[in-house]
């Protein structure tokens, strides 16, 4: 089974569609179930024999995250792929249901909590992987621990960069901790380059028309942007801790290859501090010792 957050559109949908074509059962974890059902039908149009399901998940609501994980665990006992894909980009200032700045809470903290809840199933599934979507924007990011909620000032792009750096720090630190605790699951980060997706539409807010026109004309289409995700999820030679992105000029376009994270993304001291703060903010902890289990399933 492969869970794809935000799998109803854009890169998430393209990745889910490709993975369905490779024989994975797909669970679209989406905020809007109606749109999720439409996305499911579109995947089945391409792959009529595929198994595709839809389950509500609102990453801006930790109660929804917990409910999603509990619901999944009632029906399944293993998980091959968790693809932390969903994201929002540069909305006006807002907060999640739990009071976090919207981008940091949705793009990062929601996925942090979701991964913690699902870790026991991942650890109990042979060859399982956690794929977290970063962005080239992480290169310009910094974690402002004194203003994570934006109450001391908010700039949409700055907080988007911060959320994507947080994703990168999480993916790398997660892999270190998985290895340290002897868990066979691996964590891999990836990015789609500069891709034209409906991330430029956030809820009722549209990006400026000129920006959308530029995206549609000059940026990498979503199906190409999704290749890095699929590569991270399926390439046999990966061992964890890698960063996958397009191989073209500036890493903006092209077919997937091994990339190099910005030094800020591999700063272990910052990663450990962010991990501790994330556990405090969400009230969710990773129990690696409990997740480690010598009985390994063969997957769903």
**Rounded (10°) angle between helices 156-180 and 110-123:** 20
Catalytic-labelled residue, pool 154, 160, 205, 255: 160
Residues in the chain: 300
The H-or-E segment that residue 82 falls in is strand 81-84
CA distances in angstroms from 157 to 92, 163, 255, 256, listed in the order given: 10, 10, 27, 26
What CA–CA distance (Å, rounded) separates 245 from 259? Answer: 6
**Rounded (10°) angle between helices 156-180 and 268-282:** 100
DSSP H helices, 80-123, are 102-103, 110-123
Closest CA to 3 of 88, 89, 111, 108: 111
Rounded to the nearest 5 degrees, what angle is found at the Cα of 195, between the Cα atoms of 110 and 112?
Answer: 15
For residue 160, indicate whether it is catalytic.
Answer: yes
Closest CA to 279 of 81, 112, 86: 112
Residues marked active site are found at 160
């Amino acid at each position: 089974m492969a869970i794809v957050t935000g799998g109803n559109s854009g890169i998430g949908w393209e990745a889910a569609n490709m993975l369905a074509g490779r024989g994975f059962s797909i669970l679209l974890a989406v905020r809007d179930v109606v749109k999720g059902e439409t996305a499911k039908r579109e995947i089945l149009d391409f792959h009529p024999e595929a198994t595709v399901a839809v389950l509500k998940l609102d990453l801006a609501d930790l109660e929804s995250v917990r409910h999603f994980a509990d619901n999944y665990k009632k029906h399944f006992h293993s998980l091959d792929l968790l693809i932390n894909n969903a994201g929002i980009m540069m909305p006006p200032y807002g907060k999640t249901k739990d009071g976090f700045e919207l981008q940091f809470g949705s793009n990062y903290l929601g996925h942090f909590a979701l991964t913690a809840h699902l870790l026991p199933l991942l650890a109990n599934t042979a060859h399982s992987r956690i794929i977290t979507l970063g962005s080239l924007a992480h290169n310009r990011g910094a974690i402002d621990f004194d203003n994570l909620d934006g109450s001391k000032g908010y700039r949409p792009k700055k907080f988007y960069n911060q959320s994507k750096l947080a994703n990168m720090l999480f993916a790398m630190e997660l892999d270190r901790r998985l290895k340290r605790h002897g868990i066979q699951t691996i964590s891999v980060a990836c990015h789609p380059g500069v891709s034209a997706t409906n991330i430029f539409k956030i809820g009722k807010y549209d990006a400026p028309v000129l920006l959308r026109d530029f995206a549609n004309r000059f940026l990498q289409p979503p199906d190409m942007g999704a290749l890095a995700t699929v590569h991270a999820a399926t390439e046999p030679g990966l061992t964890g801790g890698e960063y996958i992105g397009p191989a073209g000029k500036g890493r903006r376009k092209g077919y997937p290859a091994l990339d190099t994270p910005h030094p800020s993304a591999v700063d272990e001291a910052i990663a450990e501090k962010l991990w501790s703060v994330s556990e405090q903010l969400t009230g969710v902890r990773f129990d690696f010792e409990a997740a480690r289990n010598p009985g390994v399933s063969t997957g769903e």
